[in-house]
């Protein structure tokens, strides 16, 4: 055992005390926050940068909560507290810009609500709302808003609550919507109507990025709708009638800094009416004489009140707080869903060879145009490369076997797709298993 002279021991204690005391309270708070939210960073330099951002957000939260005593809502250092406001806006929104540049509402109509409007309603208590989901760093808020509205009306009509696939919309709804690049709920409703239904989240789960459309799962019409109705813009009474009948999709401005760090209470702004985010109204109520909407977000349960926010209703603004009255719509459903489809069978390569559902048969040996050996590529509608060893997905159809990449042709050039649509390069499996490598 090592012993130190009294003087050296005293100095060690002093330096130890100085080392501990040199850690600022905000640094200690940041460390605790990182542990709470499971945050890690690629380097010490990045961590120090995030600490400065965190401290700036801390000052903003503290100023609001302690110097605006009359505010009806509070802010907190939630899971977005290490993001700058610019980073947050680029990362977590996704309502199409068309919402703010004269998007034409095609299906304006009456809400169809009959009877006296209840003083309050919460569709969560009626079992018509699924758990809060998280869109991640993908601008697919529109898909979550759309599926949430369909989940609600499906429960009301069929008495069955089924969580639906946002990933199907992100991957497959490309007529007007743009996956992680943004979209509109009306287009999603129309896509689902034209497709004769939508698959479940369990069967076609969300991965937070765009992929090739799974054509087999696209054929699984678990929940159907008859169409959709647009609520007359800037008519809060019509919107109230609609929400009294079912959950309703709405566009809002979700890019305010106070919205980023919202914790609880009735959000009253200040807030722009430039719509850039999509959410779901699942009810309404009143507290201390202030009316509010109950709004389900798609930023996970660590934001707001377990993923929800109360936004002021009857504010006196025709467009509503954050423009919530401007872009509302809901799906129409009057009947039951079709019976479950039988599971699709295997893909037949020839008389004796089959691949599993969702796979593509690729010939690995042929003579005079006749294939004598097949292997399976675990990508639906894949492109079989000429080396007879690899395959590429249909949205990246150019095989580069030298660099193990799948490329996408744009105009007269061929390039690797951007990182959010990273390319696949699949080796043929031993019939059913496969090896997948990402191109970064």
Which of 78, 154, 177, 297 is labelled catalytic? 297
Token pair for residue 229?
């109705």
Burial class (CB in 10 A: 0-12, 13-18, 19+), 113: middle
Using omega within 30 degrees of 0 as the cis cutoff, is the peptide bond preceding 116 cis? Answer: no
Q: Which residues contact 59 (CB under 8 A, 6 or more apart)?
A: none
Select which of 57, 78, 138, 141 is catalytic: 141
Are 379 and 423 within 8 A, CB to CB? no
What is the rounded distance in angstroms from the CA atom of residue 242 to the CA atom of residue 45? 51
Active site residue 390: no
| Whether residue 141 lies in the annotated active site | yes
The active-site residue out of 213, 271, 277, 349 is 277
DSSP assignments along 370-431, one per residue = EEEEEEEESSTTPEEPTTSSEEE-TTS-EEETTTTEEEEEETTEEEPPPGGGPPEEEEPBSS
Q: How far is CA 304 from CA 9, 74, 136, in A?
A: 50, 10, 16
Q: Rounded CA gap, 22 and 19, in Å?
A: 5
Q: Among this protein's residues, is 404 annotated catalytic?
A: no
How far apart CA 289 and CA 286 sit, in angstroms, is 6
Which are the catalytic amino acids? 141, 277, 297
């Amino acid at each position: 055992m090592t012993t130190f002279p009294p003087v050296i021991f005293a100095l060690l204690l002093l330096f130890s005390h100085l080392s501990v005391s040199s850690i600022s309270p905000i640094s200690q708070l940041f460390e605790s926050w990182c542990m709470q939210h499971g945050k890690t960073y690629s380097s010490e330099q990045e961590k120090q940068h995030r600490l400065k951002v965190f401290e700036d957000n801390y000052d903003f939260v503290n100023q609001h909560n302690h110097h605006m005593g009359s505010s009806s809502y509070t802010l907190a250092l939630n899971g977005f507290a290490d993001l700058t406001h610019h980073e947050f806006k680029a990362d977590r929104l996704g309502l199409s810009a068309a919402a703010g540049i004269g998007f034409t509402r095609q299906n304006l109509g009456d809400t169809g609500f009959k009877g006296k409007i209840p003083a309050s309603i919460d569709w969560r208590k009626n079992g018509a709302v699924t758990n809060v989901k998280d869109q991640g760093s993908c601008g697919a808020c529109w898909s979550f808003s759309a599926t949430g509205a369909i989940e609600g009306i499906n429960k009301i009509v069929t008495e069955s609550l089924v969580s639906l696939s946002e990933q199907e919309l992100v991957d497959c709804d490309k007529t007007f919507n743009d996956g992680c690049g943004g979209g509109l709920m009306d287009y999603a409703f129309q896509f689902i109507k034209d497709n004769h239904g939508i698959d479940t989240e369990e069967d076609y789960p969300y991965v937070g990025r765009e992929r090739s459309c799974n054509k087999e799962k696209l054929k699984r019409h678990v929940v159907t709708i008859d169409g959709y109705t647009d609520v007359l813009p800037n008519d809060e009474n019509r919107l109230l009638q609609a929400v009294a009948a079912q959950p309703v999709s709405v566009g809002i401005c979700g890019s305010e800094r106070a919205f980023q760090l919202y914790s609880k209470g009735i959000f009253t702004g200040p807030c722009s009416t430039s719509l850039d985010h999509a959410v779901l109204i699942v009810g309404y109520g009143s507290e201390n004489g202030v009316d509010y909407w109950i709004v389900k977000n798609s930023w996970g349960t660590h934001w707001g009140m377990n993923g929800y926010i109360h936004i002021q209703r009857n504010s006196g603004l025709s467009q509503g707080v954050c423009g919530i009255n401007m872009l509302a719509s809901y799906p129409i459903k009057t009947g039951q869903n079709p019976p479950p489809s039988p599971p699709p069978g295997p893909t037949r390569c020839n008389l004796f060879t089959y691949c599993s559902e969702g796979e593509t048969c690729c010939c690995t040996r042929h003579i005079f145009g006749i294939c004598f050996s097949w292997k399976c590529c675990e990508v639906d509608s894949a492109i079989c490369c000429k080396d007879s060893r690899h395959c590429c997905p249909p949205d990246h159809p150019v095989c580069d076997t030298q660099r193990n990449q799948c490329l996408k042709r744009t105009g007269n050039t061929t390039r690797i797709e951007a990182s959010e649509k990273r390319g696949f390069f699949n080796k043929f499996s031993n019939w059913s298993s496969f090896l997948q490598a990402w191109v970064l």
